[in-house]
A and B are shown apart, each in its own frame.
Chain A
C-alpha cells in the first residue's frame, strides 16, 4: 500500500510535445475533439488523487475543438495552438466559468469576461480544459493554502507540488494538460515548476497583460506558461505576450518568435553565477545537480563568470513588505458587495464587511492583509513600506549592473526539493524563506525560466533558474535549451 501511495508511473508519463500534437491535428491524424476527450478521461481518472483541477470547462472546450477540426477538414491554415489542451490557473478569469482564486470568498463567482491571456489562447486555437488549483489568492509556496485542499505532487504524492501555481505545474507533470498558465508574484511559477520537474516561465514585468488576473501585488504579478519542454513554453509565451489597452503597465516592446529564437545555439553567451545563491541553506544534492547543469553550459561554449549580488539576503524581507502592502490594498475589494461571498447575518454595512471577510478569507491571506495594513499604517509607513521600496531599488540596480556584464544568470530555483505535505504549514516564516532564490527577480522585474536540471537520489526533480535582463526572454530560452538537452543525454 505504501509503495502504491508513492507510485509515480501512473501519473507521470512522457507526453507528446505541442509541436507533435499540432502536426497530427493539421494532418488530420488526430481530431481535436478526441484529444480533448482523452484528456478529460485522464483528468477524471487521476484528479481525485491529485486535486489539480477545481472546475472543468467541457462545453467551451468541446466547441473550440470542433471549430479547430472543422478548419482542419477544410484544409484552412491553423493557428499556433490549434487543438492544444491547456489548463488555466484559477486566479485568471474565463467568462462563465467559476473563478475562485483558491478562496471561499469567491465561491460561486462566475466572471462575465475573459482575461486577455485567455482571449489570446482561444484566438490561437487552444482548447481550454478548466481551472487549476492554487494557493488562496496565489499566497503560498506549497498549494496548502487553497481553500479547496492541497494539490499532491505527481512525482511523489506525499509531497507538495510547490506554490502558488501548484495545480498548473502538477497538471503538466501528470499530463493532465499539454501546457498551462500560472502566475508568479514571488516565485509562484518557477518554484512549482522546479518541484514538479517541468518548465515554467516568468516573463518580464509588462511582457504579458494582467487584465483578468485577480490581483495579489500589482507591481510584482506576472502571468506565464508551464510546459513539458522549453520550446513549447516559448511557443505559449509568444501567444500570450504583447501590449494590451486594458493593462497600462503592459509593454509596447515587440513580441519575438520565442520558440524560433530558442533554437539559436547558446555557445558564446556569458553566464553569471552568483555566489549568494550557493551559500548556506542550499541542499547539497540540489547544488550538485545545478553544478552539473553549469558544466553543460560550459561544455557548449558558454563563458561562466562569477557575479556578486550582495543585497540578495535582504530580498525576502523586502518582498514580504512590498507584496503584503499591495495585497492589503488589492484585497480590499472583497467586501461582499459586488461579487462572491456575503456573510448572511449582519445588520450594518460595516459588520457585513468584516463578517464577510473574516468568514471568507483563510489564515494566510488574513496574515498578509494584517502585515500589509500594518506596514502601510500611520507611523510605520516610512519604516516598513518606504524602506522596502528603497531596498527594492538597490536590488534592481544591482541586477542591472550584473546584466551589463553577463547575458544570463543561473541559480537553483529553490534551495530544497519538494517538501512533505504539512512539513512547513505551521510556520509561516519558514515557508517564506523557501522563496529566497525567486523573490529577487520578482522585485527587479526580470524574466526567467525554470528548467528541469537533474534530480535528487530519491528522484525528486531539481530546477535551474535562468534569469534574463528585461525583455531578454529569448536569451533565457536559449540557455534553458542547453540544460534541457543535457538531461536527455543523461
Chain B
C-alpha cells in the first residue's frame, strides 16, 4: 500500500479513466497522487482481518429497505431527452467512428 506511483502508472490510470493528460498535468498528478497515497497508507496501521466491508450504510441495522414493485412505468420522453445531445438524429446519438482505420 506504500508503493510509489510512477509516471507510467499515472498514464495507465488516465487511460482507464479516459482522460488525456498533458505532460505538465501528468507531472502534477504524480506529485499529488503520491502525497495522497502516502497519507492514506495510515490505514495499514489498523488490523481489519475478519472485518466485513461496508459498501452502503443501508446494510446497518437501523435501515429498512423495501424494494419497489416490479412494474413497468414510463421513462422520460425521448423527444425531451435527445435535444440535449451534442449530436443526434432525434432517435439515435451520433458519435465519431468506433473502429479505427
Contact = CB atoms under 8 A, between A and B. Distances in A.
Interface of A: 109-113, 205-206, 219, 243, 245, 248-249, 251-253, 311, 313-314, 316-318, 320-321, 328, 332, 335-342, 346-355, 357-358, 361, 363, 366-367, 369-371, 373-374, 377, 383-384, 386-394, 396, 400, 428-429, 432, 444-445, 469-471
B46 A219 contact: no
Interface SS of B by simple majority: loop
Contacts of B53: 386, 389-390, 392-393
Interface in B1-35: 1, 5, 9-10, 13-14, 16-21, 25, 28-29, 32-33, 35
Given A206-B63, A391-B46, A348 B96 contact: yes
B73 to A, nearest CB: 8
B36 A429 contact: yes
A387 B44 CA distance: 8
18 contacts: A112-B76, A249-B58, A251-B63, A317-B40, A338-B84, A339-B86, A340-B86, A363-B28, A369-B19, A370-B17, A370-B33, A371-B36, A371-B37, A389-B54, A391-B43, A392-B53, A392-B54, A394-B51
B78 to A, nearest CB: 10
A358 B43 contact: no
B13 A374 contact: yes
Contacts of A363: 25, 28
Nearest to B59: A393
A370 B10 contact: yes
Contacts of B61: 400
Interface string B74-101: 0011001100111100000101111010
B23 to A, nearest CB: 13
Sorted from nearest, which 3 A-B pairs have the closest CB atoms?
Answer: A445-B57, A389-B53, A342-B86
Contacts of A316: 39
Contacts of B77: 112
Contacts of A470: 57, 60, 62-63
Contact of A320 (B36, B44, B45): B36
A332 B18 CA distance: 8
B96 A366 contact: no
B13 A377 contact: yes
B33 A371 contact: yes
Interface of B: 1, 5, 9-10, 13-14, 16-21, 25, 28-29, 32-33, 35-37, 39-46, 48, 51-58, 60-68, 76-77, 80-81, 84-87, 93, 95-98, 100
Contact of A219 (B57, B86, B100): B57
Contacts of B64: 251-253
Contacts of A318: 43
Contacts of B68: 245, 248
A393 B35 contact: no
Nearest to A472: B62
Nearest to A355: B20
Given A370-B17, A370-B29, A393-B53, A445 B39 contact: no
Contacts of A340: 84, 86
Given A342-B86, A342-B87, A390-B51, A347 B13 contact: no
A339 B54 contact: no
B20 A358 contact: yes
A389 B76 CA distance: 35
Contacts of A355: 20
Nearest to B64: A252
Nearest to A316: B39
Given A248-B68, A396-B60, A470-B62, A428 B32 contact: yes
A341 B87 CA distance: 11
Contacts of A389: 53-55
A113 B74 CA distance: 13
Contact of A391 (B19, B21, B48, B81): B48
Given A251-B64, A389-B53, 9 more contacts: A219-B55, A332-B18, A354-B20, A366-B25, A366-B29, A374-B5, A389-B54, A432-B36, A445-B58
